[in-house]
Amino acid sequence: MGKSAFGSIDLWVALCVVCFAGNVMAVSHTPCAGTVLHVGAWMALYMLLRCAPLARIPNKAWAYLCAAWGCLEAGLGMMQLTGLRPSGHHLYVMTGTFFNPAPFGAFLAVMLVVVLATYKREGGKALGVAAVVLLIVLPAAWSRAALLACALCVALLYRVYILRYWKAVVGCSVVILVVLYFLKQGSADSRALMFIVSFRVWVKHFWLGTGVGDYLYALGEGQAEYFATHPDSVFLPSVGVADLPFCEPMRLAVELGAVGLVLVIGVLALTAWKLWRAKHPLFYGLLALLVFSLFSYPFNIPVFGVILAVIVATAANMGKERLVSAGKVCSLLGAIALGFAVFTQLMPRKKAEKEYERFSYMKDDAFIMDYYELLPKLNDNPKFLFNFGSLLRDAGRYNDSNAMLRQGTLLSADPMFPILMGRNYEDIQEYGMADSLYRHAFHMVPNRIYPLYRRMKLYETMGDSTRMLDIAKSVTNFKVKVESPATRDMKKEAEEMIMTLTNHTFTR
Please report, rounded to a whole number, the percentage of residues in the chain having pLDDT higher than 70.
97
| Residue 391 confidence (pLDDT) | 97
Alpha-carbon distances of 18 from 24, 214, 253, 260, 470, rounded to whole Å: 10, 18, 16, 10, 54
**Helix, strand or coil, per DSSP, at residue 358:** helix
CA distance 103 to 295: 11
pLDDT digit string (tens) for 67-82?
Answer: 999 999 999 999 999 9
pLDDT mean over 89-118:
94
Contact 309, 45 (CB under 8 A): yes
For residue 162, pLDDT beyond 90: no
Direct distance between the N- and C-terminal alpha carbons of the chain, in angstroms, rounded to an integer: 92
pLDDT digit string (tens) for 420-475?
Answer: 999 999 999 999 999 999 999 999 999 999 999 999 999 999 999 999 999 999 99
Alpha helices in 158-298 (DSSP H): 159-164, 166-183, 185-204, 215-229, 248-277, 282-293
| Residue 372 confidence (pLDDT) | 96
239 contacts: CB under 8 Å, gap ≥ 6: 190, 193, 223, 227, 445, 446, 447
pLDDT mean over 102-115:
97
Kindly report which listed range (41-45, 58-62, 163-167) carries the lowest average pLDDT score. Answer: 163-167
Contact 209, 30 (CB under 8 A): no
Give Cα 464 to chain centroid, integer Å: 42
pLDDT mean over 285-301:
95
**In the 3-class helix/strand/coil scheme, how is 53-97 assigned residue by residue?**
CHHHCCHHHHHHHHHHHHHHHHHHHHHHHCCCCCCCCCCCCCCCC
Kindly report which listed range (193-202, 231-240, 409-418) carries the lowest average pLDDT score. Answer: 231-240
What is the rounded average pLDDT for all residues in the chain?
Answer: 93
| Residue 481 confidence (pLDDT) | 79
172 phi-psi bin (left φ>0, alpha ψ -120 to 50, beta other): alpha
Helix then strand count (H, E) for the chain reads 22, 0
| Residue 504 confidence (pLDDT) | 62
For residue 389, pLDDT beyond 90: yes
Going from N- to C-terminal start, the domains of the chain cover: 8-342
Give Cα 146 to chain centroid, integer Å: 15
| Residue 2 confidence (pLDDT) | 44
Kindly report which listed range (179-183, 216-220, 290-294, 409-413) carries the lowest average pLDDT score. Answer: 179-183
pLDDT digit string (tens) for 263-282?
Answer: 999 999 999 999 999 999 99
CA distance 69 to 85: 18
pLDDT mean over 400-404:
97
pLDDT digit string (tens) for 294-307?
Answer: 999 999 999 999 99
73-81 long-range Cβ contacts below 8 angstroms, 24+ apart: 73/97, 73/104, 73/107, 73/108, 73/111, 74/108, 74/133, 74/134, 74/137, 77/104, 77/108, 77/137, 77/140, 77/141, 78/137, 81/140
Contact 274, 315 (CB under 8 A): yes
Compute the C-alpha angle 357/358/362, nearest 5°: 95
For residue 496, pLDDT beyond 70: yes
Whole-prediction pTM value? 0.93
For residue 150, pLDDT beyond 80: yes
pLDDT digit string (tens) for 321-349?
Answer: 677 777 788 899 999 999 999 999 999 99
Contact 279, 121 (CB under 8 A): yes
For residue 393, count CB atoms less than 10 angstroms from its CB and return exposed for 0-12, middle for 13-18, buried for 19 or more.
buried
DSSP 28: -
pLDDT mean over 480-484:
84
For residue 39, pLDDT beyond 60: yes
| Residue 506 confidence (pLDDT) | 46
Please report, rounded to a whole number, the percentage of residues in the chain having pLDDT higher than 90.
78
Rounded to a whole number of angstroms, the CA Rg of the chain reads 26
Alpha-carbon distances of 70 from 133, 140, 219, 293, 428, rounded to whole Å: 9, 14, 35, 19, 57
pLDDT mean over 103-123:
96
| Residue 333 confidence (pLDDT) | 93
Compute the C-alpha angle 192/383/213, nearest 5°: 55
8 contacts: CB under 8 Å, gap ≥ 6: 1, 270, 321
CA distance 157 to 134: 17
| Residue 172 confidence (pLDDT) | 87
Q: 200 or 360, which is more confident?
A: 200
Contact 244, 63 (CB under 8 A): no
pLDDT band for 5, please (50, 70, 90 cuts).
low
For residue 259, pLDDT beyond 80: yes
